[in-house]
Structure 1
Amino acid sequence: MKPLRIILSLLCSSLLLQAHALIPTDRKQRLTEHWEFIRQDMGSIWEVMRPVSGKGKPEAVPLWQEVTLPHCFNAEDAVDPDVNYYQGPGWYRTTLSIDNPYKDGRVYLEFEGAGQKTDVYVYTTKIASHTGGYDEWAVDITDAVKQFSTNPDCLGRFGGKIPIAIRCDNSRNTEMIPSDMSDFNLYGGLYRYINLVYTPAIHPEQIRINASTDEKGKQGELAIEIQMADYSPDTSGKGNGTEEYRIGMRILAPDGKEIKSVPLSLSSQVDPISYRFTLNRPQLWSPDTPNLYTCLIEITGNGDTLRTVERFGFRHFRFEEKGPFYLNGKRLLLRGTHRHEDHAGVGAALTEEMMRAEMRQIKEMGANFIRLGHYQQSSIILRLCDELGLLVWEEIPWCRGGLGGQKYREQARRMLTNMIEQHRNHPSIILWGMGNENDWPGDFESFHKDSIRSFMSELNALSHRLDSTRPTVIRRCDFCKDLVDVYSPTIWAGWYGNRFRNYREMETAGMNSTPRFIHAEWGGDSHAGRHAEEQITGNRSSFDIEAGDRNGDWSESYIIRLFDWHLKEQETMPRLTGSAFWTFKDFSTPLRPRNPIPYVNQKGVVQRDGTPKESYYVFQSYWSDKPMLHIYGHTWPVRWGKPEEAKEVLVYSNCPEVELFVNGRSQGRKKRNSQDFPAAGLHWNVILREGDNDIEAIGHNGKLSLKDRIRLQYQTQSWGKPAEIRLTQTPLTGDTVLVQAELVDKNGIRCLDACDFIEFGCTDSKALLQNQGTAHGSRLIQAANGVASICVCKGNVPVTVSAYDDRRTLKSASISIAQ
């Protein structure tokens, strides 16, 4: 027979697959299949639900399409170069089999997020409305389901199922947050999961857990508060019926061993159930050891049993005034990034598997901190941060534009309350964000700093009332920086201003300007596959980006040096709490239609589909404990220069020592020294031969050896202006062909610095992998080192692919793709 702790551990693991933060119960079903969608408004709810006699289903309107949830209105049009992304209403409909296992129980639809305004209907009855695209909320459909079920004619038309309709609307509205001036799309749709939830009549409504410890972790204090909901029919005349129910609670250690089992008194729905106890030397939660305890609650009565799981962790943290950040009594440099809910081909509608893959990438990069910008994100992300060991700054979407009226302010208060109440049990969260760039006017005719200060002060006080254990924070609103506990000014050394070698002085000024400082948002854009041969010193480059040119050349060659410089400086700043670079992944934005990839903010270290850029490995070389080695230039197939001209080769690695080989000849060993810029001393000047070259690096880490190799061509021929486009095709693994458009001069020589916009066409538009917002998935894209590419799906061949420069000044080209 299995020990009790193993049984409980297995039980908790299975429950965690279903349990979510909003309604604590194990009876949840994700509603992913059998949905229909139409991207427009309908004349009435009756038009949505209107039955067809004898067919037992709503009328089939030609434009309705079958979809799987999560689903986003703007999965592709957010990065379509020819249109503004759709902002307006859209409808979803389905039918549900409702079978509540609990006697006199309740039935809910739980929304993990839907954008941006949502109305919910059971048949033609409107049940609820919600404003806000990023918080979780639930709708009690119990009574509406009962009412609909009493009409046998209606029930029969839908095959005994309950018809559900949901209207989402992301129309522009200056009296809603976030502002449409924000540098990200305000997506529409059911882009997070919806759950069908069953509860007994008496069930937990909210579970608050406060797990605290002293700085050295000698003693842990656990306080649990359970607010109950009671919908039981009162037939005894003695009260609300809670006497019939029993509640028990078990606390499990991170290894699944039971450390506490207690019965709790269930006497009133008004007063919460409270329990406290002390634990000696709890296993502390940290990025290196994300130890999670489990609270398992079981309610039994009236033939019903409900089980729910909440996980929590013990940790102690503080932002020292004019000093660093401490976790569990030790200084921890926060090594962070940012995340938007955005992915190629789906917009905001990421599946749990996609979220997990992305968060693992962030952790494998070596990050220990993340800012969720600029809105609360899926509870799945918070659970992954708990499990992986990523500290979190989470914020509400009060972002840019100014300050609206009472509805606007009420939404901000409600979303702040929801964020804290729904996510407070996550040990990963250390900062509650009140807003972002609130000094940015534009949505309203007048802009009043005093009003913004007053409202920011109100939100700050509300946050502290709801949760006194976490500090508040904002970024870039200097006239409010004294109102919150931690502040981040705007510092973009080497991108929007100054030079990256000015970073230390700018950072020091920021730390001196506020009691508790953190640096959110730094970095710059890079166009995947674009590289530069110019020497980039950080004082002045040949393309003037160091002089403050915000566009620069967008090369990966520049951005790796910018990141490199920041990271090596951060290692020698004893007062620095930490930073978060902007951003982990490229994302779509309506504000950047003429970026190299239109409508894409390209500041990510991975592309919009998760493909790493070269800069990903720069961070890994500084932050990751796992041995790694990467030669810069895997996406740089052709380098150029004069014969016998020395060219710099960079290797990013955390190995203590690396040896470089060029065409089989050793270029010597070098020791890693983070203060030897660039590449922590792992840089060589080598002679490349005309044509093909083989470059190999071997990293030495004790008995462990790591290898990396790239093959490239070296071109010494000079070139003139681009004169024509040449197309080639290369079969890729899987079901795609890569078509490359190469710009050449009148003599047929590759123009390796050309950056014309190339527009692809096809005899079957469905064959193109387009509207992905990636280097190989965009119909209109700026060339990188004279080459633009797009993928073609083999399933649509034979087709003919064409390529033009967007100004139609070059000779175009076409190529036939066959099986």
Structure 2
Amino acid sequence: MKKTLQQISALALCGVLAACSPPPTQQTSVISDINYDKDWQFFRSEKVLDLATAQQQTDWENIAIPHTPKIEPLVVNDQFQGDAWYKKTITTEADWKGKQISLKFEAAMNVAEVWLNGEKLTTHVGGYLPFTVNLTEKLLWDAPNELLVRLDNRDNPITGPKPLHDLDFNTYGGIYRHVYLQLDNDLHISDPVAAGKTASGGIFVRYPKVSATEATVSIQTHLINKSPQPKQFRVVQQLVDGEKKIIEQSSEPQTINGNGDIENQIEFTVNNPRLWSPKTPNLYNLVTRVYEGDALVDEQTTRIGIREFKWIEGQLYINGEKTFLRGVNRHQEYPYIGYATSDAADYRDAVKIKSAGFDYVRLSHYPHSLAFMAAADELGLVLLDAILGWQYFSEDPAFQAQIQQTCRDLIRRDRNHASVMAWECSLNESWMTEPFIDSLTTIIQQEYPGALSAGWQEYGYDIYLQARQHRLEHYKMPTKPYVVSEYGDWEYYAMNAGLNQSAWANLLQADRSSRQLLSDGETRLLQQAANIQEAHNDNFNTPAFADGYWVMFDYNRGYAPDLESSGIMSIDRLPKYSYYFYQSQRDPDEFSDKFTSGPMVFIASEWTESSSLNLRIFSNTDEVELQLNGKLIAKQAPDKNANTTNLKHPPFTFVIDKFEAGELKAIAYRAGKAVAEHKVITPNTATGIALTLDTSGKSPQIGVKDTIFVYAQLQDSNGDRVHSNNVSVKFTLTGSAKLVSPVETNTAAGIASALIEIGDSLDNIIVTAEAPNLAPASMTIK
């Protein structure tokens, strides 16, 4: 008798295939999904190559997934566009006999063609969502199989958006998310995207009733039978909270036709559920098991959060509690590697966003990774999930069909995530015809009845997204739930010039803009924070239930030879002063061991002779006391002025008579009790370097392709921070890791950043940083 997949342990699969799956993201088959990221080969070509020419190529490079076709410079002036070819040898195993075998790509940029043993199997258009290739009838069992993938990331009028030279972000390339080999029995749970069925495919979880005392969980499971013979089966759903089984319910036996498919429905009630919200991101594991007779033939675990999003008179209620969502927009790119981030890197981004005081993220302007979405579920970040779109619309039926299919696939991929609030099936800042908008909102209702749509045009959508720069000249009271989708950048950069970037690119003085690099100095970083404070305060004068600052991290733009620097963190994930403004807006009573929380205080100054004597301090407490060299300057309440009227926690401004070198110390008080403090010390000349590893809630991951930052901070002989720019720091590495960033990078505000790639082991990984006339520093990565 052949073993079932249940009888093949995960450990055995790792041994057979020399590849173990990373921790599940949101919905992963615990039996049949095998990580297939290793042992690929790659080459790139700016020319369009045919299959025969690619097969004759001799300079293939050994690589692992996620992968980008080219390590780009920090500022990307000419992103690679062309052919990216990938090759992998698939050797079949005896245990695969009798299984349905397919290969799933989480994403590949942008048009993918796949061949096996010279036979073309599929073409997939679109670079942000998954696609699956069935290999079952195509694999050779007595010889190695050659898999070839060609990716074309050139400008494409069918997928949009604008051509890269006019685009405000980069789209990069490569197989930049995971690849999985899927082994299934003939009777199995379908893939939600590959199934291609409306409001179906895979596992679909909904919550018809939600309250603190009782919740209804409705589970729809789509099954496929690849055998020509009918099969009798039953489905068992088990809800697990940590290690505790809450509910187990089995369906009645059903029969599925040969070569057929069927829906299974199970609904149960959870008493006193632990509900999901930004403050309490409680998650359950839903374990779905499929039995044919007594044999377990499939099993999947879906991480779910029981919650209700409801709008009453335009305001958001989460589980019955009125909630304002303070949020931010995110581009997913990393320096040098573009989109090819590790799951751990995406998790670290989510931790930084939550630590900054945000509870909401608009996924701008395309589908982000499953790893980031899983992190949002875990940390309590509400998401606005978006299709690709930016300032590009076409009447071409092929373009419109592609966008419509993208909307369907997005919902099918992401519908079970607790964090998803609504679906932005809208082409951002692109004027769309009403029939086209109608088609997209209809698709949302078809795929997820009762779900809400969101779009930047007020017509047709359930939620109206309006950027502040548009509102300043074109605002009228919205008649539906309303989000300030973007604010704080463009209106200060271009005097509300609108969308014509090329014409208005240099209109405003740099020192008035919110686009400030970390290296631009104290005065400009304080201006960015002032702009943000003014705009965020003003957003509360609208009926918005959420707002989203533009943007979390600095990023590259296809059309401009510089970084878009309105991020509250630099492109290498270092905080600017504005990061701490947002952090001060979080409730001090909110605590978590997964991100920075609780009472905080931060002095926005380097405290040098050129520093402002109007000292700005961010805190979420009642009072702040400021000391200079142990002497009391003042103890005072938050500011009160026109730009603080709507803020929960305005900044504190202290006026100091004259500069005196030394230690500034801020002590924050709640109800008369000291609860937080922060110190800034006037630096002396730099004499050395201190190294830190940016773990942000996730330590370096081995066995997968993880990327992580190392920061080299200049310091003086007392160990105090020095803020000098443009000091060249040289990084060297030993052990099972490699340097992704250049060997030498310059400091920004006293910090040089290195991006390193972790290998299969942490053995003997030592990072060394050195700079002229400074004592070098070394750190062992553990």
Q: Distance in 2 between matches of 1:347 and 1:274?
A: 41
Match of 2:255 in 1: 267
Partner of 2:532, secondary structure, is helix
Displacement of 1:789 in angstroms is: 7.2
Q: Are the counterparts in 1 of residues 235 and 264 from structure 2 also a CA contact under 8 Å?
A: no
Q: Residue 547 of structure 2 aligns with which residue?
A: 579
Structural mapping, 1:20-59, within 5 Å: 24=29, 26-40=31-45, 43-49=49-55
Aligned position for 1:694: 663
Q: 1:299-318 maps to which residues of 2 (within 5 A)?
A: 299-301=290-292, 305-318=297-310
Larger CA Rg, structure 1 vs 2? 1
Deviation at 1:241, TM superposition (A): 3.1
d(CA) in 2 for partners of 1:98, 1:694: 67
Listed one character per residue, the Cα deviations across residues 89-124 of structure 1 (whole Å, up to 9, x for unaligned) are 111112234337465211111111111111122232
Within 5 Å, give how 1:245-264 maps onto structure 2: 245-253=233-241, 256-264=244-252
Check whether the contact 2:41–2:87 (CA below 8 A) recurs between aligned residues.
Answer: yes
Is the Cα–Cα contact under 8 Å of residues 729 and 737 in structure 1 kept in the other structure? Answer: no
Tell me what 1:708 maps to: 678
Letter in 1 for 2:422: L
Instruction: Give the 3-state SS of the residue equivalent to 1:142 in structure 2.
Output: coil
Distance in 1 of aligned mates of 2:775 and 2:347? 39
Please report how far the alpha carbon of residue 187 of structure 1 lies from its aligned counterpart in structure 2 after TM superposition: 1.3
CA contact (8 A) 2:28 2:300 kept: no
**Match status 1:391 vs 2:391:** no
CA separation of 1:129 and 1:490: change in aligned 2, threshold 3 A: same
Contact between 2:662 and 2:681, CA under 8 Å: does it hold in 1?
Answer: yes
Match in the other structure for 1:96: 90
Residue identity (%): 20
Task: Tell me, in whole angstroms, the C-alpha distance in 2 between the residues paired with 1:280 and 1:292.
Answer: 15
Deviation at 1:283, TM superposition (A): 2.8
Q: Deviations over 1:590-609 (max 9, x none)?
A: 1221xxxx2x2212111112
Inter-partner Cα distance in structure 1 for 2:729 and 2:653? 42
- Aligned in 2, Cα 1:759/1:434: closer, same or farther, shift over 3 Å? farther
Report if aligned partners of 2:584, 2:619 keep a CA contact under 8 Å in 1. yes
AA partner of residue 120 (structure 1):
V
Give how far 1:650 is off.
1.4
Task: Name the structure 2 match of 1:168.
Answer: 151
Match of 2:499 in 1: none
Alpha-carbon distance between aligned partners in 1 of 2:234 and 2:409, rounded to the nearest angstrom: 29
- The separation in 2 between residues aligned to 1:662 and 1:525, in whole angstroms, is 38
Q: CA deviation at 1:354?
A: 0.7
CA distance in 1, matches of 2:543, 2:677: 37
- Name the stretch that deviates more: 656-665 or 416-425: 656-665
Residues 691 and 777, structure 2, Cα contact 8 Å, conserved in 1: no
Which residue matches 1:201? 186
State the alpha-carbon separation in 2 of the partners of residues 217 and 795 from structure 1: 51
1:487 partnered with 2:454: no
Structure 2: gaps spanning 5 or more residues: 1-9, 15-19, 191-200, 493-507, 591-596, 694-709, 715-722, 733-737, 757-764
Is 2:642 the partner of 1:671? no
8 Å CA contact 2:329–2:362 kept in 1: the answer is yes
Partner of 2:175: 190
Matches within 5 A, 1:271-290: 271-290=262-281
Alpha-carbon distance, 1:285 to partner: 1.6
Structure 2 equivalent of residue 660 of structure 1: 626
1:65 corresponds to: 61
* Cα distance in structure 1, aligned partners of 2:664 and 2:75: 37
| 3-state SS of paired residue (1:267) | strand
CA contact 2:513–2:527 (8 Å) conserved in 1: no
Correspondence for 2:451 = 470
Q: CA deviation at 1:434?
A: 1.8
Q: Which amino acid aligns with 1:606?
A: M
Structure-1 residue corresponding to 2:502: none
Contact 2:689–2:777 (CA under 8 A) maintained in structure 1:
no
The alpha-carbon distance between structure 1 residues 416 and 247, as it changes in their structure 2 partners (threshold 3 A), is same
AA at the equivalent of 1:86: F
Q: Which residue matches 1:810? A: none
Shift in alpha-carbon separation, 1:759–1:656, aligned structure 2, 3 A: closer
CA shift, 1:88, in A, is 0.9
Aligned partner of residue 173 in structure 1, secondary structure: coil
In structure 2, the partner of 1:382 is 373
Q: Could you tell me how far 1:130 is from its partner in structure 2?
A: 0.8
Match of residue 230 from structure 2: 241
CA contact (8 A) 2:25 2:374 kept: no
1:228 corresponds, among 192, 206, 223, to 223
Contact 2:26–2:374 (CA under 8 A) maintained in structure 1? no
Residue 521 (1) aligns with residue 509 (2): no
Contact 1:771/1:777 (8 A) holds in 2:
no
The one-letter amino acid paired with 1:466 is E
Distance 1:409 1:482 in 2: 18
Q: Secondary structure at the match of 1:562?
A: helix
* Separation (CA, whole Å) in 1 of partners of 2:426 and 2:42: 33
| Residue of structure 2 equivalent to 1:719 | none
Q: Secondary structure at the match of 2:350?
A: helix
CA distance in 1, matches of 2:91, 2:40: 14
The match for 2:654 is 684
Q: Deviations over 1:11-30 (max 9, x none)?
A: 9xx99955566774532222
- Pick one of 345, 353, 360 that aligns with 1:354: 345
Query: One-letter code of the match for 2:664?
Result: I
1:254·1:291 contact (CA, 8 Å) conserved in 2? no
Cα shift at 1:461: 1.2
Deviates more, 1:331-340 or 1:278-287: 278-287
Residue 435 in structure 1 maps to residue 406 in structure 2: no
| Amino acid in structure 2 at the alignment position of 1:229 | I
* AA in 2 matched with 1:709: K
What per-residue deviation string (whole Å, max 9, x for no partner) do you get for residues 113-142 of structure 1?
Answer: 111111122232222211111111211111
Secondary structure of the equivalent of 1:409? helix
Secondary structure of the 2:585 match is helix
Q: How many residues align?
A: 676
In structure 2, the CA distance between the partners of 1:362 and 1:23, relative to structure 1 (3 Å rule), is closer
The answer to whether the 8 Å contact 1:21/1:422 transfers is no
How many Å apart are 1:673 and its aligned residue?
6.0
Q: Relative to 1, partners in 2 of residues 1:141 and 1:100: Cα closer, same or farther, differing over 3 Å?
A: farther
TM-score calculated relative to the size of structure 2:
0.76
Q: 1:319 aligns with which of 307, 311, 314?
A: 311
Tell whether the 8 Å contact from 2:515 to 2:565 is kept in structure 1 after alignment: no
Check whether the contact 1:200–1:306 (CA below 8 A) recurs between aligned residues. Answer: yes
Residue 797 of structure 1 deviates from its aligned partner by 11
Aligned twin of 2:586: 623
Determine the C-alpha separation between the residues in 1 that align with 2:630 and 2:37.
55
In the TM superposition, residue 294 of structure 1 has moved relative to its aligned partner by: 2.7
Matched, 1:121 2:115: yes
* Secondary structure of 2:398's aligned partner: helix
Deviation digits for residues 389-417 of structure 1 (CA, Å, limit 9, x no counterpart): 11110011132122141221121111100
Task: Note the alpha carbon deviations across 1:490-543, whole angstroms, 9 max, x for none.
Answer: 213xxxx9xxxxxxx949x8461342211111123899xxxxxxxxxxxxxxx9
Structure-to-structure mapping, 1:550-569, within 5 angstroms: 555-569=524-538
Aligned residue for 2:718? none
TM-score of the superposed pair, with normalisation by structure 1 = 0.73
Q: 2:72 aligns with which of 76, 82, 93?
A: 76
The question of 1:414 aligning with 2:405 is answered yes
Output the CA distance in 2 between the equivalents of 1:798 and 1:179. Answer: 41
- Counterpart of 1:260, as a letter, is E
CA drift of 1:565 comes to 2.8
| RMSD, matched Cα | 4.3
Q: Distance in 1 between matches of 2:292 and 2:205?
A: 28
Counterparts of 2:341 and 2:358 in 1: how far apart (Å)? 21
In structure 2, distance between residues paired with 1:276 and 1:94: 43
Structure 1 residue runs of 5 or longer lacking an equivalent are 1-9, 51-58, 156-160, 235-239, 441-448, 498-504, 528-542, 715-726, 741-751, 802-813
1 CA distance for matches of 2:620 and 2:769? 47
